Amino acid sequence: MISAHPQPTPALVQAFAPTGTLRASINLGNPILANKDANGQPVGVSIDLATELAKRLGVPLSLVVFDAAGKSVEAVTNEKADFGFFAIDPVRGQGISFTGPYVLIEGSYLVANNSPLTSNDQVDKKGIRIAVGKGSAYDLFLTREIKNAEIHRAPTSPTTVDYFISEKLEVAAGVKQQLEMDAKRLPNLRLLPGRFMVIEQAMGLPKTRSPEAQAYLKKFVEEMKASGFVAQSLARHKIEGAAVAPANSI
């Protein structure tokens, strides 16, 4: 059982929000975490978590919105934002202190209907070109793991499939739900069965922030999972295919 948060001290609030406003870096490039509603306003589990954190700290919230994960990471690393929502990755971890994951997301491959590829283990071959959103968790993972295929980077994750088609590439990689939406939007596309990776989505703040702030955020995420807050948010926003991450020791 996770105990309730104590009232934050002025020093803790200052560590989180040195400008007096809590600036949340929001990535619209991952539809599982954030999207826009009918009025063009950001909505999603990351916005819900950011709102709850600001409420607990007793400070106003400002959403700093980006269209790609790389830009969101850069904003927090360079302290243009106070915290954000990212896939845990060792490259990003050089400048960001991560919490434990709050959701797990599947990464999948998409191909043309007439592609000879039928399984994930066929992708890393000579002559295969993979489209992926520049700076995304998939880009970072595939850059480390792919040995024979070529990686071609689209400007953002949501433009990956359009880039894959325009460049006549063999494979597109990304969030399973985004690829499924693209397969419905565009003709003659299919997903390869299964997944090539599971992405751990966490909250994070600049490594320069105090150990107390880092510990507070880690505890906050564990409480949000244990209380059902994350599960309820995913259900409210009708997000399928993302699982609440198991409890993480802190």
Integer angstrom CA distances of residue 239 from 54, 129, 232: 23, 30, 10
Closest CA to 12 of 56, 51, 62: 56
pLDDT at 4: 53
| CB atoms inside a 10 Å sphere around CB 212 | 14
pLDDT score of 7: 83
pLDDT single digits (tens) 56-82: 999 999 999 999 888 999 999 999 999
Identify the pLDDT of residue 3. 47
The per-residue pLDDT of the chain, averaged, comes to 93
Would you state the pLDDT for residue 5?
57
Residue 76 pLDDT: 96
Regions in the chain scoring below 70 on pLDDT: 1-6, 241, 250
Q: Residue 84 in contact with residue 75, Cβ under 8 Å?
A: yes
pLDDT at 2: 46
Return the biggest CA–CA distance within the chain: 61
* Model pLDDT, residue 138: 86
Residue 175: per-residue pLDDT: 87
Distance CA 58, CA 61 (A): 9
Query: φ, ψ for residue 177 (rounded to 5)?
Result: -65, -40
DSSP letter for 3, please.
Answer: P
234 contacts 244 by C-beta, under 8 angstroms? yes
pLDDT tens for 202-247 read 999 999 999 999 999 999 999 999 999 999 999 999 887 688 999 9
